[in-house]
Structure 1
Amino acid sequence: MKTHDYLLEHMNWPTVKEKIEAGMDTVIICTASVEQHGYHLSELTDTVIGQAAGLLVAEKLGNALVAPVIRPGLSEHHIPMAGSLTLRPEVYRGIIEDYVTSYKKHGFKKVIIFSSHGGNFNENEKIVKNLQEMHPEMQFSSSLSLMELMDLMAQFEKKYGLVEGSCGHGGAMETSVMLHTAPEQVDMDKATPGYIGPMTEEVLNKVFKSGIVGITEVGILGDPRQAKAEWGEYFLELFSDEIIKAVHKDFNRLL
């Protein structure tokens, strides 16, 4: 895959104009984060994963281009750990709205918004509903919910025989994707497990309300030590395929 064929920020404006006029009328907006991911992963992890997934979605759809990944995101639950950034919800919402307003003026007709960071999901669903009211002539998809993403993680664990709860924040799945996508940002010698257990609604609520340090000093949900690059490639394919299924469902419902 040639990233400059899909990444808007890598193109000059005449190229973007030509692609839109040729029928590439869908823009993919990933919202990510800049936040701690334990001892072994960079704070750019969600952004790297989000861009990689967005590129696969664009390539598979054939009529879509990828916007610059939005980051930071909503990461209040990671703020106790150095370097993590978080936006006020109103600022976060405003950035997404301004992205859409700009791209609408250029001729994009469909917008796919997905998140590679758990803390953005609930707000994204509200934002997409509001955007549909603001721009009724456009089509919007918020793609997967947080619970649907967690189901994909459970599939990942089952496929590779991992203990339940191995694939939370900074765990086996994200580490595998980073080994596949950006191995220079991974230090497996420092990979340390954190909280390992079922990601119940109670656990998630505790993370978002009390902060991740309330259940793990390491900042990890899961166990990154078994991660493998080829597992990361598998998950990106799975993630992008499921986003596309959700997008088709959303767009067909709006027609």
Structure 2
Amino acid sequence: MYQDGEIKRVEEIRLITNDYLLEQMDWPTIKEKVENGMDTVIICTASVEQHGYHLSELTDTLIGQAVGLLVAEKLGNALLAPVIRPGLSEHHIPMAGSITLRPEVYRGVIEDYVTSYKKHGFKKVILFSSHGGNFNENERIVISLQKMHSDMQFSSALSLMQLMGLMSQFEKRFGLAEGSCGHGGAMETSVMLHIAPDQVDMNKAAPGYVGPMTEDVLNMLFESGISGITEVGILGDPRQAKAEWGEYFLDLLSDEIVKAFYKDLSI
């Protein structure tokens, strides 16, 4: 059961959703919004993959939607597309339930999203990821999309290294050990406690690999898979997570995506 504060937050998210989430609108409403200047579409690529013992495999999708809705709200002239999932999750496949797409299929879905939305009058696209495995491919896709649709403007939002910088900032702010906020760690768990506490079982929360995310560790992760680093499937320590920390990180991340959008489009 939700507590009073959780019910209030769920209601707030529903209100934002009704204003900005394309898949919950009828087509005349979307047409009217685009004609009235809401010409930016936000596309989040997420994943369906393991997140340790305590989080559901829907984690990246739920976080991506929450971030995208805040970005849309802060921009005011943007709408959020249905979150794309699964993503590129080959490094999670050894753990049950994880799904991964072939890179060419993943790219094709994004390209078809953009082509569809262009036909409806959208002129600007923000492509961001809530899953680490999508970042590098997204940057390449944005370059390709800009060539395919020269009359549109594109932003790839943040790089993976920039996201890791925000996680480091999160750790320092709340006095956490370095490396506490990787995959399924303190940050993602805090966000999930804030937006979807029913998808979290803190009684099962267990730390995985905790330490600096060096280039060697990242290479091992993407080349050998997460199971070669941690049996739990976690990068970090979720046990100290707090819902209010999750609200802070959502605000921080959405702010940075908005800044990147303005910078990329020289607005």
Relative to the length of structure 2, the TM-score reads 0.94
Q: Are 1:28 and 2:28 an aligned pair?
A: no
What residue number does 2:140 align with?
126
Q: Are 1:205 and 2:225 an aligned pair?
A: no
What residue number does 1:138 align with?
152
- Measured in 1, the distance between the counterparts of 2:73 and 2:50 equals 30
- Measured in 2, the distance between the counterparts of 1:44 and 1:127 equals 24
Deviations 1:35-66 (A, max 9, x none): 00000000000000000000000000000000
- Of residues 161, 182, 197, the one that matches 1:168 is 182
Q: Are 1:178 and 2:195 an aligned pair?
A: no
Shift of 1:91: 0.1
What residue number does 1:41 align with?
55
- Measured in 2, the distance between the counterparts of 1:168 and 1:72 equals 19
What residue number does 1:248 align with?
262
- Measured in 2, the distance between the counterparts of 1:240 and 1:200 equals 25
Q: Are 1:237 and 2:238 an aligned pair?
A: no
Give 2:224's aligned amino acid. S
Relative to the length of structure 1, the TM-score reads 0.99
Residue identity (%): 82
Shift of 1:201: 1.1
- Measured in 2, the distance between the counterparts of 1:17 and 1:245 equals 27
Give 1:51's aligned amino acid. Q
- Measured in 1, the distance between the counterparts of 2:248 and 2:215 equals 26
SS, match of residue 217 in structure 1: coil
Deviations 1:116-175 (A, max 9, x none): 000000000000000000000000000000000000000000000000000000000000
Shift of 1:4: 1.1
Q: Are 1:115 and 2:129 an aligned pair?
A: yes
Deviations 1:210-249 (A, max 9, x none): 0000010000000000000000000000000000111100
Structure 1, gaps ≥5 residues long: none
Structure 2, gaps ≥5 residues long: 1-11
- Of residues 64, 68, 82, the one that matches 1:54 is 68
Shift of 1:82: 0.1
Give 1:191's aligned amino acid. A
Give 1:150's aligned amino acid. M
- Measured in 1, the distance between the counterparts of 2:168 and 2:54 equals 22
Shift of 1:185: 0.1
- Measured in 2, the distance between the counterparts of 1:64 and 1:247 equals 11
Q: Are 1:92 and 2:94 an aligned pair?
A: no
Shift of 1:104: 0.1
What residue number does 1:188 align with?
202
